[in-house]
Structure 1
Amino acid sequence: MVSWGDGEESSDYQSSDSDNDALNTIYDSEYCGSDDGLPAARCKCRKVAGRFVAFEGWQTGRRFLGCDVQEGRRCDYMKWIDGEWPMNLKKALGKLWEMYGAQKHGRTSDALDHFEQKFKLHDEISKLHKDLKMAQDELKTVIGEKQMTLALKAKAEQALIDARAELDQKKLIDAHHSNMHKVLRIRAEKERDQMKQERDLMKKERDEVKADKRKLEFIIGDFLKQKEEHRSKMKKIIQIALE
């Protein structure tokens, strides 16, 4: 059973658990406001004492009167309304507060771990951004070089076409010269074969450019996919940390 004393003055309790300025309290609608005793108790500030309910350690739940100054430093006046709790209840309350402190410390450690993991993910994502930028720059360089090569090949092909047209024109003009016609025909066929070979070579190089471009697109796709996976992972970690 809880003993209900006639009141204990603050001079009997000098520990931090009994310090009105440091002791945490909890609101109780059935026990709040100022003391309504006759006469009303007054603190060392000569003000009417306030009614409080302790919410700390093994004092949890005990009602007391204390300084109720709203502004400025409160005096150390304290008068317990409830007597001390039985020893088994004190031990139980102490154990509960110890468990609460351990759980609070654990949550703080978990939160710190989550934030540390968040910063690590941020660094990884930044690195992925840099790698992706380098890959994109490299892709632009390769594409630029290939486009220049194709432009040169197209120019050479056009030059060959123009040369062939010129030869055809000469062949028509010199048609009456059979020997010359034969020579020009052989030469034109030779150039045609050469043009075909060069055209095949250009086609091969274009195919290689397309293959290189597809490879680079796959690389970029992998980078973007990895980036999205890291972003999703970071969001989940942040959600867990906020919970």
Structure 2
Amino acid sequence: MPSWNDEETSSEEECEVVSMDMGLMEEPDTIVEPLFCGQLELSEPKCILHQMRPVKHVAFEGTVTGRRFYGFPVQANGVNCGVVEWVDGPWPPVLQRCLSKLWEMFHDQNCGRVLDKEKFEKELAKVKSEHERELAKLKMENDKLCIEYTKLVDDVSNMFDWKDGRVDKRVYQKKVEEKELEKKKKELEEKAMLEVQMEKLKLAKEQRCILQSQADIIKNTRKAMKDVEVDRDFLKKEKEKLELVVAELLKDGYGSKEKLEQIKAILES
């Protein structure tokens, strides 16, 4: 296991290069490490796709967390050219298991946070929807109260005007009658509209019944026509059989020839 010392330098000469780990061809996630960073200027291998020199990285993923390596920089289009050489050898199996467990706990915690966030967002959306419904309901009640309040203020104002003599009693009575008449007119219009809707529904229902009756009649007619065709085919076959029998009887000379001729005439008619 390589020793990590805060005083070690990041030069290429002091870093012992280890053979490449074939189990991890793609470059892992990395973390910024000031003591081991920068580009290898004197390195021979270059990226085949982009012709770029390797860069010093410190892995920050899975069981290779903390291992230094030389790798090509990931391009803007997401192409990962992989690891060139590992500077540090593989960690001991015990440490690898510990790292694997730590990353598993990290991912589980992240998943838990995502689930909690989704649950919170659903609850928030539900509360928001209920709040909007209550707000709309309160707004409707407020508008209704405002209308009633305005009407009440007008009535009180008219009453005081009539009491003070500023408004004639007959004028006041006329306004009241006009309001009552307007109210009755509105009720009659609503009633007439309701009756029209009922008539439309009744007509639609009758039309559906007529269409259903027509469909039943057409269905029964088709069925009767089919039965007639079946009977006609059957009678046709029987007629052909009887014609054959009569022809054989006439040929052999059995029975009354005149009667057979009559039967033959009937069959041919």
User: TM-score normalised to the size of structure 2?
Assistant: 0.49
2:122 to 104, 116, 119: 116
Which residue in the other structure is 2:43 paired with?
Answer: 40
Distance in 2 between residues matched to 1:135 and 1:80, nearest whole Å: 73
Deviations 1:189-224 (A, max 9, x none): xxxxxxxxxxxxxxxxxxxxxxxxxxxxxxxxxxxx
Contact 1:47 1:67 in 2 (8 A): yes
User: How far did residue 90 of structure 1 move?
Assistant: 0.3
SS in 1 for 2:31: coil
* Residue 19 (structure 1) aligned with residue 26 (structure 2): yes
Which residue in the other structure is 1:53 paired with?
Answer: 58
Distance in 1 between residues matched to 2:102 and 2:142, nearest whole Å: 59
Distance in 2 between residues matched to 1:69 and 1:118, nearest whole Å: 39
Runs of 4+ in 1 over 3 A off after TM superposition: 1-6, 68-74, 151-159
Identity fraction in percent: 29
Contact 2:43 2:53 in 1 (8 A): yes
AA partner of residue 7 (structure 1): V
Contact 1:5 1:83 in 2 (8 A): no
1:8 to 11, 16, 19: 19
AA partner of residue 19 (structure 1): E
Larger Rg: 2
SS in 2 for 1:8: coil
Paired residue total: 153
When residues 71 and 146 of structure 1 are mapped into structure 2, their CA distance, relative to the original with a 3 A threshold, is closer
Distance in 2 between residues matched to 1:2 and 1:65, nearest whole Å: 16
1:25-104 correspondence to structure 2 within 5 Å? 25-35=30-40, 40-45=43-48, 47-68=52-73, 73-104=79-110
User: How far did residue 112 of structure 1 move?
Assistant: 1.6
CA RMSD, aligned part only?
Answer: 3.0
User: How far did residue 135 of structure 1 move?
Assistant: 1.5
AA partner of residue 40 (structure 1): S
Which residue in the other structure is 1:224 paired with?
Answer: none
User: How far did residue 56 of structure 1 move?
Assistant: 0.2
1:148-227 correspondence to structure 2 within 5 Å? 148-151=154-157, 153-154=159-160, 157-158=163-164
User: How far did residue 40 of structure 1 move?
Assistant: 2.6
User: How far did residue 117 of structure 1 move?
Assistant: 2.2
User: How far did residue 67 of structure 1 move?
Assistant: 1.8
User: How far did residue 152 of structure 1 move?
Assistant: 5.0
User: How far did residue 6 of structure 1 move?
Assistant: 4.6
Deviations 1:11-32 (A, max 9, x none): x5144xx412xx1011111111
- Stretches of structure 2 that go unaligned for 5 or more consecutive residues are 4-14, 170-269
Contact 1:25 1:53 in 2 (8 A): yes
